[in-house]
Amino acid sequence: MVAQLTKNERQIALVILLVMAAVGLAMAAGGRNDPFGVHGALVMVVAILGMFGVISGYYAPEPPEDRLDSYYDAPSKFGIIAAMIWAVIGMFVGDWVAWLLAYPDWTFDAAWASFGRLRPVHTSGVIFGFGGNALIATSFYVMQRTTRARMPDQLSPWFVLLGYNLFCVIAATGYLMGVTQSKEYAEPEWYADIWLVIVWVTYFVLYMRTLARRKEPHIYVSNWYYLAFILVVAMLHIVNNLAVPIAWGSAKSYSLFAGVQDAMTEWWYGHNAVAFFLTSGFLGMLYYYMPKRAQRPIYSYRMSIISFWGITFFYMWAGSHHLHYTALPQWVQSLGMTFSVMLLIPSWVSAGNALMTLNGAWHRVRDDAVLRFMMVAAVFYGLSTFEGSFMAIRPVNSLSHYTDWTVGHVHAGALGWVAMITFGAIYASVPWLWKRQAMYSAKLVEAHFWLALAGTVIYVFAMWNSGIIQGLMWRTYNESGTLAYSFTDSLIAMHPYYVARAIGGLLFLLGAVVGCYNIWMTIRTAPSAAPETAADRPVLGGAVLQPGE
């Protein structure tokens, strides 16, 4: 990596690492008996190792001038590998806690192994570790191809990726030590939040600088979605994590919001994290990789833009549907419900646009498991968005709220939509990046697809059944007007569904492990090749990415 940097970039990298080491040392000294100090020591060690790495290659020859004639794909390669590592870690922890819910005795006496600490490791690992790295890696790849412009420097993308993964490690280790802001998404410590802002602003600036250098005057629709993901996530993260630490040297902090205002802010953040992290970014992925893989133009460019503005406007108002039947004012609940129902229109426009793009290419879907990942992702996206709008309606929500139905809905989107399109994009990207004709084993891609699909279906159907039964048991009264079932009765009734969920999660995890092996073997057997030149570049305006209307 260091050899790819210019001398000026190596100097800047050293300065950044020196500052990080100094801050880490101050944190370690100020929080000796606190996770704050542990994380300070971690930052200091990472910075020192980074300095040794930069110094070891400090006097390496300057990178050749002709590097500017090719795309800079090394960060994308790193991001894909990091995404798959986080996928296995996050899904392993998720399946672990799923088995603990079915068999609570399958644990041991350690605070870090409790459900309350492992659960946020799972959610952060798969959402931010797996999903975030995949989004950053593919956005770098797509941005360069659709603008026909190389990223403006070599240091910024590495700072974004390495800094982002440092944030993920700090968050995961903090959860195991019991440090969290105790919100729905279990946001990490205040100092990790500040670090992520620095990384994310760098990401945004890098994206804008590349767009400003574009040789293609048209801004392809994937860049709209990726840019919305970057910009809005920054806004959400900053507002939701406004907090005051109790002291330097302590990881504990207090939110600037309280009570119902804190709940509303959290779900404004939470639902828009779904909108712009788990939807907008992955739609950017879908709109590039599906047409490329299917060798078909997008069915309708106009539909993609209508969907973009519909999602961007409607989603902002929908978060309050998570707070039906609470202290939130009734009119705010109704507003959230109304916009949630309207969200079905732009969401289904995107899902329909993706599926209609496959017209004339269904034979490829039949024969190509990579394209099948993407097709199934589009189907689950349409299914999940319909279900989300339906569950936001107040009478439906009275049955589904606080039940496993919500868990099933979330994982229909997470496994069926987000993970499926990500695996499809990664399988498409790996041969392109490492100059291979195809993946190491098409049969392993096929096996991964069926493991992932089977795991998703088992998981989601188990939670749908579990949630509806829960909701009905909780609202069933006997002739005397008292509850017919105790909460314990409902837990006993859930046991077979919890076992099924754990089995579904295990199948999905096995699929990710198969994918890691296949990707590793593809990389390992890749022949050495010269970097891609301008003549090799797939440019916008060709048959693949040309709008359908």
Query: Distance between CA 155 and CA 179 in Å, rounded?
Result: 32
User: pLDDT value at position 528?
Assistant: 54
Pair 416, 364: CB distance under 8 Å: no
Q: Look at the chain and count its residues.
A: 549
Q: Return d(Cα 158, Cα 161) in angstroms, integer.
A: 5
Provide the pLDDT for residue 544: 39
Neighbours of 495 (CB within 10 A): 13
DSSP H or E segment with residue 245: strand 243-245
Which three-class secondary structure string do you get for 433-464?
A: HCCCCCCCCHHHHHHHHHHHHHHHHHHHHHHH
pLDDT of amino acid 533: 44
Q: Where are the domains of the chain?
A: 1-59, 76-105+115-532
Determine the CATH number of domain 76-105+115-532. 1.20.210.10
Residue 434 CA to residue 188 CA, distance in Å, equals 35
Torsion, Cα of 465, 94, 274, 124 (10° steps) = 160
Distance of alpha carbon 21 from its chain centroid, rounded? Answer: 29
The reported pLDDT for the residue numbered 436 is 92
- Are the C-beta atoms of 283 and 331 separated by less than 8 Å? no
Splitting the chain (549 residues) into consecutive groups of 10 residues, what average pLDDT does each group show? 83 94 93 87 95 86 83 95 97 96 89 90 95 97 94 94 96 89 68 94 96 92 95 91 84 83 88 91 96 93 92 91 91 94 94 94 94 97 95 93 94 96 97 93 96 97 95 92 92 96 98 97 73 42 40
Q: List 477's β-bridge partners, or say none.
A: 483
- Both tokens of 353, joined, read 């646009």
- Residue type at 487? F
Exposure letters 239-251 (e unless 16+ CB within 10 A, then b): ebbebeeeeebbb
Owner of token pair 């945004």: 204
504-526: buried (b, 16+ CB within 10 Å) or exposed (e) per residue? bbbbbbbbbbbbbebbeebbeee
**In degrees rounded to 5, what are phi and psi of residue 296?**
-135, 145
Asked if residue 4 lies in contact with residue 34, where contact means CB atoms within 8 angstroms, the answer is no
Structure tokens at 453: 């699909």
* Model pLDDT, residue 255: 82
Q: Phi and psi dihedrals of 236, rounded to 5?
A: -60, -45
301, 326 Cβ separation under 8 angstroms? no
Q: Are 80 and 141 in contact (CB under 8 A)?
A: no
- 111-159 pLDDT, tens per residue? 888 888 999 999 999 999 999 999 999 999 999 999 999 999 999 999 9
Residue 370: Cβ within 10 Å count: 25
E strands of 276-423, at which residues?
none
Q: What is the pLDDT of residue 549?
A: 36
**What is the model's pTM?**
0.93
Q: Is 527 in a helix, a strand, or coil?
A: coil
Q: Kindly give, in sequence order, each residue whose CB lies less than 8 Å from that of residue 94, ignoring residues fewer than 6 positions away.
A: 122, 123, 125, 126, 505, 509
Is the Cβ–Cβ distance between 521 and 440 less than 8 Å? yes
483 - beta bridge partners? Answer: 477
Residue of 475, 479, 504, 508 lying closest to 490 (CA atoms): 475
| The Cα angle at residue 354 between residues 348 and 355, in degrees rounded to 5 | 90
Which ranges in 359-418 belong to alpha helices (H)? Answer: 362-367, 369-391, 394-400, 404-411
Contact between residue 79 and residue 137 where contact means Cβ atoms under 8 Å apart:
yes
Q: How many whole angstroms separate alpha carbon 492 and alpha carbon 473?
A: 12
User: In one letter, which amino acid is 467?
Assistant: G
Helix or strand run (H / E) with residue 253: strand 253-255
CA distance 446 to 456: 15
Interior angle at CA 406, CA 400 and CA 409, nearest 5: 125
Contact predicate 192/170, CB 8 Å: yes
Contacts of 384-391 with C-beta under 8 Å, sequence gap 24+, read 384/409, 384/412, 384/413, 384/416, 384/417, 385/343, 385/344, 385/347, 385/348, 385/351, 386/344, 386/347, 386/348, 387/412, 388/340, 388/343, 388/413, 389/340, 389/341, 389/343, 389/344, 389/347
